[in-house]
């Protein structure tokens, strides 16, 4: 696959350089509000429920797309649109069937905000999971991550002769006037809306404007039997799109899909991409603008004398958009604590948002990418089996400095104990070192659960669970992601990564638990 460098020769940062690069500067929002929200984990296994919400913090109405992706290969298992009023707050829950191995998990919402299609209770759908997968499909869908995209912003239009989308979806005394208008607007839209315009669809009018950001979200994994509650805020991305990125919510073939997704496995599917498959994390959303990369290779938003400005020539480069998003959440180092033993349990969540956008058929053309396997492009650079869903990316467990004997310590106990990576028992034994094999990974530290079977002790993970053993009961681990990511900047290292640690206190009949952010080093160079 062709690779495009967003910035070359960043050392000459004061000199404007013309290049082919995706417009815009995607970056992670420190205040948690943006155009795109990335939820690293949901669970409906072993009694878990996941509550999640999206809030519109602005005075304008917004159309958003919510996509639930399972955690093994990040296949889409359910997606829909939500029409948010100004200052609206939309909530939903993902829960398991009575027997989570026999039935699919279900999305429930009591919220009155308009959705397309109409949503109150809907099971997750395994349509995109390959028939060759040998694991339990319902368990696979019971864990994963969630994406939220702002599609466009719109305002009130004064016109007595036509139904207005604003008047129909904005809440009056807590209830929208007519959600059928949103369904009609979508149903009569055959092509995507990619530029600001006055859209009139089936007698429903809306002033379709650029996404403006200001959406915020959080989630919580709750187990009523265990009594655990793990809450976290979604990762927010700003400046993802400068133009509307609206595709109608239907199963018609998408127009020119290769211009809007870098997922070559999806493109290879005879029945996809369809309109409701877009947008995804690699969808370009700018028709003009600039991207900026600083001297360290970090994508930034502010203009300054030390910025290299790269001018875009087109908005049809999904690989570049994918890489810009990855650069915004790139991490070269991860650290977090663990508590284990009889009284405590610790699970770590490691999620690679957008790993699916790096999928490409194997170069030799020997494998069917839909049923047998495919490759992941750089920086992942591994093969994925469609039979198991595994494509294992190694993690370099290494400390920050060597002692006088040359030992590099990676695992530390509570009382200044330390151990090298050779002293750590990583499972399974067939992998060298610590590997993250799925789009979403749950790692149980010193877990009593069987290796790679589960459920893990804290998050009750099964389909994406692996066990990690440490020589200490309490402590912390320092791990590096040393993959080269030269697609963004020469010398840049790391992987696009979000996640958290879930720790439970097991000393009472009802467990208590909390979620703790990973310590990350973002956007590092060699």
DSSP code per residue over 449-468? SPTTTS--TTT---TTEEEE
User: Is the pLDDT reported for residue 98 higher than 50?
Assistant: yes
- 212, 349: one domain: no
pLDDT at position 390: 95
* Rounded Cα–Cα distance for residues 231 and 503 (Å): 12
- 340, 191: one domain: no
pLDDT at position 24: 57
pLDDT at position 11: 24
- 54, 181: one domain: yes
User: Is the pLDDT reported for residue 12 higher than 80?
Assistant: no
Whether residue 460 contacts residue 100, with contact meaning beta carbons closer than 8 Å, is answered with no
pLDDT at position 520: 79
User: Is the pLDDT reported for residue 313 higher than 70?
Assistant: no
Q: Is residue 377 part of a domain?
A: no
pLDDT at position 412: 65
User: Is the pLDDT reported for residue 433 higher than 80?
Assistant: no
The residue to which tokens 């595709």 are assigned: 247
pLDDT at position 403: 40
More confident residue, 418 or 179: 179
- 188, 58: one domain: yes
Residue 432's pLDDT band, with cuts at 50, 70 and 90, is very low
Of 137-146, 244-253, 331-340, the poorest mean pLDDT is in 331-340
More confident residue, 344 or 426: 344
User: Is the pLDDT reported for residue 33 higher than 80?
Assistant: yes
- 234, 342: one domain: no
pLDDT at position 5: 30
pLDDT at position 415: 64
The proportion of the chain whose per-residue pLDDT surpasses 70, expressed as a percent, equals 80
Residue 431's pLDDT band, with cuts at 50, 70 and 90, is very low
- 346, 467: one domain: yes
Among 207, 222, 252, give the residue marking a domain's end. 252
* Rounded Cα–Cα distance for residues 405 and 499 (Å): 34
User: Is the pLDDT reported for residue 502 higher than 90?
Assistant: yes
Q: Is residue 293 part of a domain?
A: no
Among 188, 223, 252, give the residue marking a domain's end. 252
- 194, 336: one domain: no
pLDDT at position 100: 62
User: Is the pLDDT reported for residue 453 higher than 70?
Assistant: yes
Which tens digit of pLDDT belongs to each residue from 376-408? 998 999 999 999 999 998 776 554 433 444 444
More confident residue, 350 or 414: 350
Beta-carbon contacts of residue 275 (< 8 Å; ≥ 6 apart): 192, 247, 248, 249, 250, 251, 252, 253, 254
Q: Is residue 68 part of a domain?
A: yes
Q: Is residue 266 part of a domain?
A: no
Among 220, 252, 284, give the residue marking a domain's end. 252
CA 458 remoteness from chain centre? 22
Q: How many domains does the chain have?
A: 2
Q: Is residue 39 part of a domain?
A: yes
User: Is the pLDDT reported for residue 163 higher than 90?
Assistant: no
Region of 460 (left: φ > 0; alpha: ψ -120 to 50; beta: rest) is left
* Rounded Cα–Cα distance for residues 340 and 458 (Å): 10
Whether residue 78 contacts residue 44, with contact meaning beta carbons closer than 8 Å, is answered with no
User: Is the pLDDT reported for residue 1 higher than 50?
Assistant: no
* Rounded Cα–Cα distance for residues 464 and 73 (Å): 10
Of 191-195, 354-358, 429-433, the poorest mean pLDDT is in 429-433
User: Is the pLDDT reported for residue 2 higher than 70?
Assistant: no
Q: Is residue 259 part of a domain?
A: no
- 218, 106: one domain: yes
Return phi, psi of residue 266, to 5°.
Answer: -65, -40
The residue to which tokens 């994994």 are assigned: 221
User: Is the pLDDT reported for residue 416 higher than 80?
Assistant: no
Which tens digit of pLDDT belongs to each residue from 36-53? 999 999 999 999 999 999
Structure tokens at 134: 């040998």
Q: Domain of residue 101: give its range.
A: 32-238+246-252
363-393 in b/e burial notation, b at 16+ Cβ within 10 A?
Answer: eeeebebbeebbbbbebbebebbbebbbbbb
Instruction: Report, as an integer, the average pLDDT of 163-173.
Output: 92
pLDDT at position 294: 35
Which tens digit of pLDDT belongs to each residue from 226-246? 889 999 999 999 999 999 999
pLDDT at position 480: 76
User: Is the pLDDT reported for residue 477 higher than 90?
Assistant: no
pLDDT at position 242: 92
Q: Is residue 319 part of a domain?
A: no
pLDDT at position 434: 64
Instruction: Report, as an integer, the average pLDDT of 201-227.
Output: 93
pLDDT at position 99: 66
- 96, 218: one domain: yes
pLDDT at position 176: 96
pLDDT at position 279: 97
- 77, 207: one domain: yes
DSSP 31: T
Q: Is residue 403 part of a domain?
A: yes
* Rounded Cα–Cα distance for residues 387 and 450 (Å): 21
Per-residue CA distances from 193 to 82, 129, 152 (Å): 16, 29, 9
- 225, 348: one domain: no
Return phi, psi of residue 53, to 5°.
Answer: -140, 155
Instruction: Report, as an integer, the average pLDDT of 468-482.
Output: 81
pLDDT at position 401: 39
Instruction: Report, as an integer, the average pLDDT of 150-164.
Output: 86
Residue 80's pLDDT band, with cuts at 50, 70 and 90, is very high
- 90, 210: one domain: yes
pLDDT at position 156: 84
């Amino acid at each position: 696959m062709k690779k495009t460098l967003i910035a070359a020769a960043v050392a000459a940062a004061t000199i404007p350089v013309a290049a082919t690069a995706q417009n815009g500067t995607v970056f992670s929002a420190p205040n948690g509000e943006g155009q795109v929200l990335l939820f690293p984990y949901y669970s409906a296994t072993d009694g878990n429920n996941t509550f999640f919400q999206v809030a519109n913090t602005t005075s304008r109405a917004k159309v958003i797309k919510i996509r639930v992706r399972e955690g093994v290969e990040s296949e889409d298992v359910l997606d829909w649109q939500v029409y948010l009023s100004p200052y609206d707050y939309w909530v939903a829950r993902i829960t398991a069937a009575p027997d989570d191995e026999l039935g699919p998990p279900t999305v429930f919402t009591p919220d009155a905000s308009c959705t397309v299609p109409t949503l109150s209770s809907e099971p997750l759908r395994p349509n995109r999971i390959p028939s060759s997968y040998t694991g339990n499909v319902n368990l696979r869908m019971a864990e994963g991550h969630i994406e939220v995209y702002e599609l466009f912003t719109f305002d009130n239009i004064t016109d007595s002769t036509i139904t207005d989308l604003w008047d129909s979806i904005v809440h009056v005394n807590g209830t929208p006037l007519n959600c059928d208008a949103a369904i009609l607007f979508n149903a009569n839209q055959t092509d995507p809306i990619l530029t600001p315009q006055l859209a009139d669809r089936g007698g429903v009018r809306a002033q379709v404007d650029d996404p403006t950001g200001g959406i915020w979200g959080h989630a919580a994994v709750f187990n009523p039997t265990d009594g655990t509650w793990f809450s976290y805020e979604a990762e927010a991305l700003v400046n993802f799109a400068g133009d509307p990125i609206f595709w109608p919510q239907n199963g018609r073939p998408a127009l020119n899909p290769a211009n809007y997704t870098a997922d070559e496995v999806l493109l290879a599917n005879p029945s996809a991409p369809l309109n409701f498959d877009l947008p995804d994390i690699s969808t370009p959303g700018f028709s003009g603008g600039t991207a900026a990369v600083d001297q360290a290779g970090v994508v930034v938003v502010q203009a300054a004398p030390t910025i290299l400005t790269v001018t875009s020539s087109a908005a049809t480069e999904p690989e570049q958009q994918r890489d810009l998003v990855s650069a915004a959440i790139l991490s070269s180092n991860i650290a977090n604590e663990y508590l284990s033993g009889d009284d405590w349990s610790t699970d770590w969540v490691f999620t690679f948002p957008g790993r699916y956008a790096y999928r490409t058929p194997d170069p030799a053309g020997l494998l069917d990418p839909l049923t047998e396997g495919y490759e992941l492009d750089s920086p992942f650079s591994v093969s994925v089996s469609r039979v198991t869903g595994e494509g294992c990316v190694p993690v370099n467990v290494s400390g920050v400095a060597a002692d006088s004997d040359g030992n590099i310590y990676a695992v530390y106990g509570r009382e200044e104990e330390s151990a090298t990576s050779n002293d750590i028992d990583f499972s399974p034994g067939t992998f060298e070192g610590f590997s993250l094999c799925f789009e979403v990974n749950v790692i149980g530290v010193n877990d009593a659960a069987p290796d790679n079977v589960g459920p893990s002790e804290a998050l009750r993970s099964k389909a994406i669970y692996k066990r990690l053993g440490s020589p200490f009961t309490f402590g912390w681990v320092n791990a590096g992601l040393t993959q080269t990511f030269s697609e963004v900047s020469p010398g840049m290292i790391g992987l696009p990564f979000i996640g958290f640690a879930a720790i439970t206190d097991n000393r009472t009949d009802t467990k208590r638990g909390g979620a703790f952010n990973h310590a990350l080093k973002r956007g590092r160079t060699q």
